[in-house]
């Protein structure tokens, strides 16, 4: 039982890590897009 509980814990942590990773990727993509747009405007 403790082994399955550990697997559950690990999957929850990895899911949170994936969410954080995708958030970071989204923010960096948005920053890059904004930089490209401001370069076009100049």
* pLDDT at residue 8, as a whole number: 85
Domain boundaries, the chain: 1-42
Distance (Å, whole) CA 18 – CA 4: 21
pLDDT value for 5: 81
pLDDT of residue 22: 96
pTM for this predicted structure: 0.56
Ordered per-residue pLDDT tens for the chain, 42 residues: 678 888 888 888 999 999 999 999 999 999 999 999 999 998
Whole-number pLDDT of residue 14: 92
Angle at 41 between CA 40 and CA 42, to 5 degrees: 95
Amino acid 42: pLDDT: 84
């Amino acid at each position: 039982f403790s082994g399955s509980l550990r697997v559950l814990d690990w999957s929850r942590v990895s899911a949170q890590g994936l969410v954080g990773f995708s958030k970071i990727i989204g923010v960096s993509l948005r920053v890059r897009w904004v930089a490209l747009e401001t370069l076009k405007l100049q």
